[in-house]
């Protein structure tokens, strides 16, 4: 059973959000996962987990107990396809920049929020380049999800304005990823 692969939950990068359609009768169709490679060139495997009891759509980036890079997609049928895509790209970004293999910063610390901003930024750049979803589709879901899950308005606003600034960047997703990888290696080199 693929779901029984153990993951180190405390070390996982999780984007855990409620979606607005919890009461929807029909689940959304699942999109195909995008291609994802980490900073070492390893292929990241997506594992879809649709627990019937789950009400929360979430993604989790990690390595499994055999050390393979994975993204677990939980209850994606609770989220519309534009938002599924955003979560896939967001979790992939944690692999692309190497966050998954770094020590996990304390929750809600500056470094944690910085890594989330970087992942959001890469996700929206990839949406712009690779997906047919509009910016507003993604943003609407993201802001609804964040307010439903109880993020204070101030952090929702700052997260959304980060995403908006990224969407307007002239850089490509690949250029931005490269820049973040270079910064990460400088950081680890200097301690
Ligand atoms: Zn994240």
Residue 191 lies in a domain: no
Report how far residue 96's alpha carbon sits from residue 177's, in angstroms, rounded to the nearest whole number. 7
Residue 61 lies in a domain: yes
User: Residue 9's pLDDT is what?
Assistant: 43
User: Residue 118's pLDDT is what?
Assistant: 95
Residue 2 lies in a domain: no
Ligand 1 centre to CA of 52 (Å) is: 24
Model pTM score: 0.82
Ligand 1 centre to CA of 94 (Å) is: 7
Range of the domain at 69: 8-184
Segment (H or E) for 175: helix 173-189
Report how far residue 177's alpha carbon sits from residue 165's, in angstroms, rounded to the nearest whole number. 16
Residue 167 lies in a domain: yes
Residue 49's DSSP bridge partners are 74
Residue 37 lies in a domain: yes
Ligand 1 centre to CA of 73 (Å) is: 13
Counting beta carbons within 10 angstroms of the beta carbon of residue 167, is it exposed (0 to 12), middle (13 to 18) or buried (19 or more)? middle
Residue 190 lies in a domain: no
Residue 46's DSSP bridge partners are 71
Ligand 1 centre to CA of 13 (Å) is: 5
Sequence-ordered alpha helix ranges (H) in 59-172? 81-96, 110-130, 135-148, 153-167
Digitized pLDDT (tens) for each residue of the chain, 191 residues in all: 444 455 444 455 666 554 444 444 577 889 999 999 999 999 999 999 876 555 667 889 999 999 999 999 988 888 888 888 889 999 999 999 999 999 889 888 899 889 999 999 999 999 999 987 777 877 877 777 666 656 666 677 888 889 989 999 999 999 999 999 998 777 666 54
Residue 3 lies in a domain: no
User: Residue 187's pLDDT is what?
Assistant: 65
Report how far residue 161's alpha carbon sits from residue 124's, in angstroms, rounded to the nearest whole number. 12
Q: Provide the token pair at 38.
A: 């980490």
User: Residue 95's pLDDT is what?
Assistant: 97
User: Residue 142's pLDDT is what?
Assistant: 74
Residue 1 lies in a domain: no
Ligand 1 centre to CA of 93 (Å) is: 8
Number of domains in the chain: 1
């Amino acid at each position: 059973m693929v779901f029984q692969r153990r993951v180190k939950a405390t070390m996982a990068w999780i984007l855990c959000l409620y979606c607005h359609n919890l009461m929807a009768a029909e689940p959304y169709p699942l999109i195909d996962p995008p291609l994802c490679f980490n900073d070492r060139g390893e292929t990241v495997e997506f594992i879809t987990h649709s627990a019937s009891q789950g009400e929360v759509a979430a993604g989790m980036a990690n390595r499994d107990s055999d050390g393979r890079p994975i993204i677990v997609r939980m209850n994606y049928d609770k989220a519309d396809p534009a938002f599924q895509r955003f979560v896939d790209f967001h979790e992939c970004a944690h692999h692309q920049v190497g966050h998954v293999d770094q020590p996990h910063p304390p929750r809600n610390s500056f470094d944690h929020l910085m890594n989330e901003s970087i992942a959001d930024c890469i996700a929206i750049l990839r949406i712009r380049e690779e997906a047919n979803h509009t910016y507003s589709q993604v943003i609407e879901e993201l802001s609804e999800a964040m307010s439903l899950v109880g993020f204070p308005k101030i952090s929702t606003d700052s997260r959304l304005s980060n995403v908006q600034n990224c969407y307007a960047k002239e850089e490509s997703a690949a250029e931005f990823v490269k820049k973040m990888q270079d910064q990460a290696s400088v950081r680890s080199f200097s301690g």
